[in-house]
Amino acid sequence: MNEFNKSQDTHLWYTEYHTPNSGITLKVKETLLRVKSPFQELVILDTYEYGRMMLLDGLVMLTDRDEFIYHEMITHIPVNINPSVKKALIIGGGDCGTLRELSRYSFIENVKMVEIDEEVVKASRKFFPQLASNLPKNAEIVIGDGIDFVEKTDDVFDLIIIDSTDPIGPAEGLFTDSFYSNCRRILSEEGMMVLQAESPYFHAESIKIFSDRLRRIFGFIRPYLAFIPVYPSGMWEFIICSKNELDVSLKKADLISHFESSLKYYNHDVHKGAFMLPTFVKNIYGI
């Protein structure tokens, strides 16, 4: 579906198709990396509009210019709802952006990231130093399959972040009953899991299927939204899951005060607004 096109101006253009008839097209300065790992094809392009961009199997993972939105929103929303996180687990997230955001909270004692593809971590260290350099000492990077990890571990986590690719290829099993049940098993009683949940505009049917699954397994879920320009439709969804009724309000007003000026998307207004859903999104959940 995705292909490299030569335009009339002889520049390389990259198109990711979001439907058979629409997509996003970016003019490319240079191809910086193209490798085939045992799991997927990894490409790093330098683009005019968005800076460096990481693609996995032809799908945009992140760009220099808008990665902050995804990484701030997948991290600061759950931590500000439950500021008693001591142990956190990231599944996927090999670019290390989620790790970078979690490391802002000194009260989180231990963060483990389980990423299946070492090439993603290596490429991020080289081409996206703002994400993957200066990682904290309490961050442990495990190269392995997240599905396997949650099945075998007996550790318990207060926060689990599923920072995965979409439900195709190595990430397919990250959207299943058995994976979610294992995540629930290793979640502390007051803990929360959060996952990236595709675009409600384009992927309503699959969101309906896996959000029903999440509600059945965890008991309580709350979707929230962010604007991410390079992702399909620009409207992106995240889902928080908990074993208890979810109160998504901010619990401590000063939690982000010492680094708030360096955030570019998340703030207290955005925290509240992210849970205000348009009618077509509410309809996916029957709320």
Which stretches of the chain bind ligand SAM, using CB under 6 A?
56, 61-62, 70, 91-95, 114-117, 120, 145-147, 163-165, 170-171, 173-174, 196
- Is 247 noted as a catalytic residue in this protein? no
Q: What is the DSSP string of 192-204?
A: EEEEE---TTT-H
Query: 108 is written with which tokens?
Result: 């989180």
Measured from the CB atom, the residue of 161 and 256 that comes closer to ligand SAM is 161
Distance CA 15, CA 220 (A): 38
Closest CA to 70 of 180, 257, 165, 196: 196
Measured from the CB atom, the residue of 84 and 206 that comes closer to ligand SAM is 206
Query: 120 is written with which tokens?
Result: 């993603």
Catalytic residue among 117, 163, 177, 254: 163
Listed in order, strand segments (DSSP E) in 10-132 are: 12-19, 22-36, 41-47, 51-56, 59-63, 87-92, 110-115
Q: Which residue is nearest to ligand SAM (CB)?
A: 92
Distance CA 74, CA 94 (A): 14
Measured from the CB atom, the residue of 61 and 270 that comes closer to ligand SAM is 61
- Angle value at C-alpha 82, between 78 and 86, nearest 5 degrees: 100
Report the nearest approach of ligand SAM to the CB of residue 189 (Å).
25
Q: In the 3-class helix/strand/coil scheme, how is 11-39 assigned residue by residue?
A: CEEEEEEEECCEEEEEEEEEEEEEEECCC
Report the nearest approach of ligand SAM to the CB of residue 262 (Å).
20
Partners of 143 in the β-ladder: 115
Measured from the CB atom, the residue of 79 and 174 that comes closer to ligand SAM is 174
Query: 77 is written with which tokens?
Result: 């929303």
Report the nearest approach of ligand SAM to the CB of residue 207 (Å).
14
Distance CA 68, CA 155 (A): 30
Measured from the CB atom, the residue of 170 and 191 that comes closer to ligand SAM is 170
Query: 15 is written with which tokens?
Result: 């198109």
Measured from the CB atom, the residue of 132 and 147 that comes closer to ligand SAM is 147
Are the C-beta atoms of residues 232 and 201 closer than 8 Å to each other? yes
Report the nearest approach of ligand SAM to the CB of residue 253 (Å).
29
Report the nearest approach of ligand SAM to the CB of residue 266 (Å).
16
Report the nearest approach of ligand SAM to the CB of residue 236 (Å).
8
Query: 206 is written with which tokens?
Result: 């699959």
Show which residues are catalytic: 163
